[in-house]
Chains A and B, each alone.
Chain A
Amino acid sequence: MSTKRLIGIFAIGAATVAVIAIAGLVFSTMGTFLVKGLPNITWQLLSEAPRNNNTEGGIFPAIYGTTLLVLVMSILGVPIGTITAIYLNEYTRAGAVMPRVIRFAVNTLAGVPSIVFGLFGLGFFVQFLGVGLDKTFGNTEAIWAKPALLWASATLAALTLPVVIVSVEEALKNVPQEMREGSLALGATRWQTIWKIVLPNSTTGILTGSILAIGRSAGEVAPILFTGVVYSLPQLPDGISSQFMHLGYHLFVLSTQSPDVDKTLPLQYATTLVLLMLTFTLNFAATFIRSRIRSKQFR
């Protein structure tokens, strides 16, 4: 009996320790970055370009580049993900072959390492589509056949796609089936039902799901390594065919490739905090919208 109790204490204790360890991890990382990063966030940092081989100045181009990247990625990825989810949830039956194949592909896609997406972006977008575009337009020098904001965004959109699909499908499932039937019984077509009943009633879910997915990939560096990011730019990107700077990559370069890592430590902390703020703002925004709307939807 007493050994059994001992094991019990140990069992519960182990689980408790695990939670404490995770909590410690979360708080120590967040705490460190807040304490060390916050004092270094200045207007100068947020508004100026890096100087002197990235060791001085600000990180504005990286903020700008990251934002642009996230925007273009969302424009490319969210509609496609939403339409796929609509197809899966509204046009197919659960047991049919096609949706099962697609679901398998979506899950597989979610498990493909991000660096492989990077290789894919380089091989497909830059080397295949880019070269093709340049040929088509008769460009004598490479305009598209080189890493660019567009290709990085497209690569990141591909990476984000499975997450968007899954969360949008979740949102669509929350629309009661009776509502679809009600609409169909009135003589609405399938698409009219989707457009006028299903989508308006799942906008919030689609929005929050997409924002969460985007937030996850906003900080991803591996997929953009060879598809468009650079560590230093003379000027801001002037179009989707330009290269760009990125907060995550900037942090990577500063902390590992910089000639004097210690000198730029304040800059690194600040960059980390800005990056975290970007991703967590997106997360919190999504959570906030969700909680706000959930309370007033469906009575």
Chain B
Amino acid sequence: MEQVTTPSPAQKHSFVRKTNNIGERIIERCVKIIGGVAVVLIFLILLFVLREALPLLMGAFSQPRTAQSSVESSLSDTLNLKPEVYNPDVILSEHQAPEEFAPEVYNPDVSVPATILAEKVNTRNEADGDHITLANILGTIWQPVSTMPKFGIMPLVIGTAKTTFVAIFIGAPLGILAALYAAFFAPRRLREVIKPMVEILAGFPSVVIGFFCLLYVGSALQNLFGFDFRLNAFVGGIGLAIAVIPIVFTITEDTLSAVPKSLLEASLAMGATQWESAYKVMLPAAFPGVFAAVLLGIGRAFGETMIALMATGNAAMVSTSIGDPVRTFSATIGAEMGEVIWGSAHYSILFFLGVLLFIVSFTLNAVTELFVKERLAKKLQGG
């Protein structure tokens, strides 16, 4: 080794010089900012869905509105470009704003030209009337498009509850039992088949499931049970169950395989049979996970749109029979948002339904995350 390196003092101490690696820092900063996008997205979703629903909420809890207040709130409705200010007076004073668009987005001076405003106000007055009271919203009639629109969400609540119930009642046991089978009873070869099979089921777009129910399940069940209507809550529930099964199966299966194998071995060693170990030892050990699976399944069934839209019959009626057609929250949004006048009361109430959907899904998820998963971790790891 002839190359004997004798580092000069400068070279020796080169690590002291703090290399101000600007590129590295910029990249790091960018990654951090983008990393927070999911959090921002949650807030944006809540904010913007709520924002479109807000005018209605403000009006809904007051007396039937006067013509003046109706104009005010519809005006503020129209000015979607300005989220932070909700001050009708300011907006009204801008009523004579010049008919040109200023460059800045957030500038309150920028308003929709007066002519457009006037138009909006007109259509608005025709469309909604002054009937959006709390009583109206809690009513039992959903008739958003009529001269006397009724926005009673009770039929939708009942409809959503019925389909969700059917979906979970059918989907959850199937998913859990299939997961148990895959984990404990299936021969190795078969297990390798079951998982991809469920993945195929999970890969079906919901519109395809809806189509399948529309074409086959409806008629089949009508022949079987003699329903009065071909499409009804039960058919929709089955469609939703098809969407729920993969979720319940996957999460249950994951949890079951996370339970230490030693537990199963211990149970078997004590003379318990395979099925006793599976049902009495492993399933209880994995219970929080199974519970989480069911909760997420409920969330899916509750929020699913296309299947509900295509297979439930879409009639907003108050009835207790699962053989009657129903209309769910999400299907209502899906079906009516396309034809609604932007900014009208009907438009707002559809967003209000969206807010409810968001709140329920958020709550379900929070319960799963903070309560159930924590508990599972404790149970499986001790402590």
Stretch from B56-64, B143-151, B303-311 that touches the partner: B303-311
- Which of A7-15, A42-50, A171-179 is the contact stretch? A7-15
A111-B299 contact in complex given A22-B197, A124-B48, A256-B310, C-beta closer than 8 Å: yes
Which of A17, A109, A115 has a CB less than 8 Å from the CB of B42?
A109
A160 to B174, CA, bound (A): 27
B291 contacts the other chain (Cβ, under 8 Å)?
A: no
Contact with B along A111-133 (1 / 0, CB 8 A): 11111111110111001100110
CB distance from A60 to the nearest CB of B (A): 19
A258-278 at interface with B (beta carbon < 8 Å): 268, 272, 275-276
Residues in A neighbouring B208, C-beta threshold 8 A = 29, 33, 219, 248, 251, 272, 275-276
CB distance from A114 to the nearest CB of B (A): 6
Size band of the A side of the interface?
35 or more
* A69 CB–B CB distance under 8 Å: no
A71 at the A/B interface (Cβ < 8 Å)? Answer: no
Q: Which of A51-59, A79-87, A201-209, A237-245 contacts B (4 or more CB under 8 A)?
A: A79-87
Q: How many chain B residues touch the partner (CB < 8 A)? A: 95
Does A91 lie within 8 Å of B32, measured CB to CB? yes
Q: Which residues 22-54 of B have a CB within 8 angstroms of A?
A: 24, 27-28, 30-32, 34-39, 41-42, 44-45, 48-49, 51-52
Q: When chains A and B are docked, how far (Å) is the Cα of A255 from the Cα of B210?
A: 10
A132: chain B residues within 8 A (beta carbon)? 81, 105
| Contact in complex: B35, A87 (CB < 8 Å) | yes
Q: Given contacts A113-B357, A116-B361, A226-B338, is CB(A256)–CB(B214) below 8 Å?
A: yes
On whether the beta carbons of B337 and A225 are closer than 8 Å, the reply is yes
Chain B 198-225, CB within 8 Å of chain A: the 1/0 string?
A: 1111111111101110111000000000
Q: Is the CB–CB distance between A191 and B27 below 8 Å?
A: yes
Residues of B within 8 A of A (CB): 21, 24, 27-28, 30-32, 34-39, 41-42, 44-45, 48-49, 51-52, 80-81, 83, 101-105, 110, 173-178, 180-182, 185-186, 194, 197-208, 210-212, 214-216, 242, 245, 249, 273, 275-276, 278-279, 296, 299, 302-306, 309-310, 330, 333-334, 337-338, 342, 350-351, 354, 357-358, 361-362, 364-366, 368-369
Pairs A-B, 9 closest by C-beta atoms? A113-B303, A219-B205, A87-B35, A18-B177, A15-B181, A222-B305, A123-B48, A132-B105, A119-B354
Apart from A218-B205, A276-B205, 5 more pairs, CB < 8 Å: A8-B275, A22-B178, A113-B304, A225-B337, A255-B211
- Give 13 CB contacts A-B under 8 Å: A25-B242, A26-B197, A98-B35, A113-B305, A123-B80, A123-B351, A136-B104, A189-B24, A219-B208, A248-B205, A252-B310, A255-B211, A276-B204
